[in-house]
Structure 1
Amino acid sequence: MYPYVLMILVVFMYAGNLLIGKAINDLPPLTITFFRLLIAFTVLLPIGYRSVLKHKSLFLENKKPVLALSLSGIALFNTFIYGSLQFTSSSNAAILESAIPAVTVIFSIYLLKEKINQIQSAGVLLSLFGSIWVIVDGRLFQITHLQWNIGDLIMIGAILSWALYSIFVKLYMFRFPPYGAVLVITGVGVLLLLPAVVVEWLILGVPSIFSREYVAGLLYLGVFPSFIALIFYNRAVELLSASKASIFLNLLPVVTMLGAGLWLGEQITRMHVIGAAIVMVGVLLTTQGGRLRGKKDLTEQTSNVERKTQN
């Protein structure tokens, strides 16, 4: 259960990421991403710098994997998220982000040659169905009438970025010490974003980030989704797989809607409860499908042995 608990905590932190990101979306997206990562790097520095110094040669020998991890999961993903929230609602962002597990499964099959059984495949589809159900309040036939806009299109970039990051975690993260790796890829992300955020300030002007709301929001983004959730997610992917760990992101719309109801006073309907149940069943099938299939195979093998013995 340990990796599953980690992923549930990750989901709550990422739901907070969407809600806080929407609350402070008066700030430009690159500015939010840059200060989020800068705060995360500052928090990580006293924890991971010794590990980085000890394994300095390892990181230098793996510059391309480090760049891939930083670009996909740190720089691009966060920029796409906050760019999307400039134009679309947190609910739309949540439903689109729930497509990440399905995309990750496809990438895992073709790039990692992972295999999932029929029970797990059904779980992927069911959890995605439940996520859609939550957002459209059970009115599935009206999904085409949602107000798709440029923010929804930007979210496609976030989906692809995180799916690729999940693949890179499985391929490369085991090479590095965990805290040192997160410190390095976060630091590289800050360096990658620095020239981009300067250009943003030249175009839009330097924003004032020192209001209480902005400071509190950026501190949350810098500590929880940037640091703690990333450590938890990386560990869960190592213990499970990229496709199984990412399926938990299908819970994101459920938690986001609950957060919006408690924080923003939005009504939680019966359709939301039904959708939440569907998502949870889908996650259960995906995470436990391999075990259920294994028990079935073991039962079949035992029966075959018994029949041979009787004969």
Structure 2
Amino acid sequence: MPYLLLIFVVLFYAGNILTGKAMNDLPPFTIAFFRLLVAFIFLLPIGIKSAWKARNTFREYKGPFLIMTLTGVTFFNTFIYGALQFTTASNVSVLETVIPVVTVVLSALIVKEKLPLIKWTGVALSFLGAVWVVMDGRLLELFSSSWNVGDVIMIGAISCWAIYSIVVKQYMHLFPAYGVLLVMTGMSVLILLPFVAVEWTIGSVPSLGEVKYWIGFLYLGVFPSVIALVFYNRAVERLGASQASVFLNFLPVVTMIGAYVWLGETIKLPEIAGAFIVIAGVILTTRAGTRKKRKSLNYKKTSYN
């Protein structure tokens, strides 16, 4: 059930944005570092054996593995936490909806993934709906709004996840599911360590004694960092990078619902209308892929008979 997996991915990533915004009094590299440290500790007992058995695979495909580590684990969320220092959670969530568009374009250019017109239409429709949600139905204001530093930082996150999605489709199946995440998070902790040192040297050492921070780190380290990545990787293997990534267009909708429940914000009519547009676009894209697979299977059955 790859679509069910992707629904949970969206839920966990919406929680990632909301939690990251709630903790934005901490510097971004610090949040990313402790998130991944928790993930590494969580993965250690369940991934160490498979990681050791696959050590030759890690050596053989060290190039693609390094790209997946840097883009999907080390810097994607670091860019998000950096963006949340300057912009709103809503802005971050809508800018993440650009990822499917970038992924589709890169998939077509790099791996020559063929996409029918109906899929392009679905991607565009769901993206339009996501923008409609965040802009409160005032689409023309999108072009008159000034971009702040956080919006620019999100370009890094968008690029990272689009590249990660494409490389995952080609290489992730070669690695053990938990072993690869263990090694990825371990490497990312080491990579981020000097950034944290610089962050604390330039600024000040943050006070990490509050319980709310460690509850946040625990959530970030287990659900978005581990479970969501496992689910997303499996969905990409089944559906392809472009089709799986279009589900991220649900993110603004889920994020705003979370803000309503958690922060007491109201949900307006334009946001409800935008939610339906997003859902329509995702259904259009996924049904196009399902219909194509069914035709292929029917053709094979006819040929065999």
Q: Tell which deviates more after alignment, 166-175 or 248-257.
A: 166-175
Alignment RMSD: 1.6
For each residue in 1:247-296, what CA deviation from the matched residue of structure 2 results, as whole angstroms up to 9, or x when unmatched?
00000000001111111111101111111011001000111113335678
Equivalence for 2:169: 170
Structure 2 length normalisation: TM-score?
Answer: 0.95
Structure 1 residue 193 corresponds to structure 2 residue 192: yes
Equivalence for 1:128: 127
| Alpha-carbon contact 1:166-1:242 (below 8 Å) kept | yes
For each residue in 1:204-248, what CA deviation from the matched residue of structure 2 results, as whole angstroms up to 9, or x when unmatched?
122111201111111110110001001101111011100000000
CA distance in 2, matches of 1:216, 1:298: 47
Equivalence for 1:53: 52
CA distance in 1, matches of 2:258, 2:241: 26
Question: Which residue type is aligned with residue 129 of structure 1?
Answer: L
Structure 1 residue 4 corresponds to structure 2 residue 6: no
Question: Which residue type is aligned with residue 164 of structure 2?
Answer: Y
CA distance in 2, matches of 1:191, 1:263: 34
| Alpha-carbon contact 1:117-1:290 (below 8 Å) kept | no
Equivalence for 1:269: 268
Instruction: Describe how 1:76-95 pairs up with structure 2 within 5 A.
Output: 76-95=75-94
Structure 1 residues 294 and 240, CA gap change in structure 2 (3 angstroms): closer
Equivalence for 2:226: 227
- Identity across the alignment (%): 57
Equivalence for 2:302: none
4+ residue segments displaced more than 4 Å: 293-299
Shift of 1:297: 9.2
Structure 1 residues 297 and 172, CA gap change in structure 2 (3 angstroms): closer
Equivalence for 2:154: 155
Structure 1 residues 298 and 220, CA gap change in structure 2 (3 angstroms): closer
Equivalence for 2:12: 13
CA distance in 1, matches of 2:213, 2:111: 40
- Give aligned pairs, total: 299
* Secondary structure of the structure 2 residue equivalent to 1:208: coil
- Higher CA-based Rg: 1
Equivalence for 1:281: 280
Q: Tell which deviates more after alignment, 30-39 or 285-294.
A: 285-294
Equivalence for 2:303: none
* Secondary structure of the structure 2 residue equivalent to 1:123: helix
* Secondary structure of the structure 1 residue equivalent to 2:140: helix
CA distance in 2, matches of 1:17, 1:252: 11
| Alpha-carbon contact 1:41-1:183 (below 8 Å) kept | yes
CA distance in 1, matches of 2:208, 2:153: 24
Equivalence for 1:290: 289
CA distance in 2, matches of 1:8, 1:256: 13
* Secondary structure of the structure 2 residue equivalent to 1:205: coil
CA distance in 1, matches of 2:19, 2:5: 21
* Secondary structure of the structure 2 residue equivalent to 1:207: coil
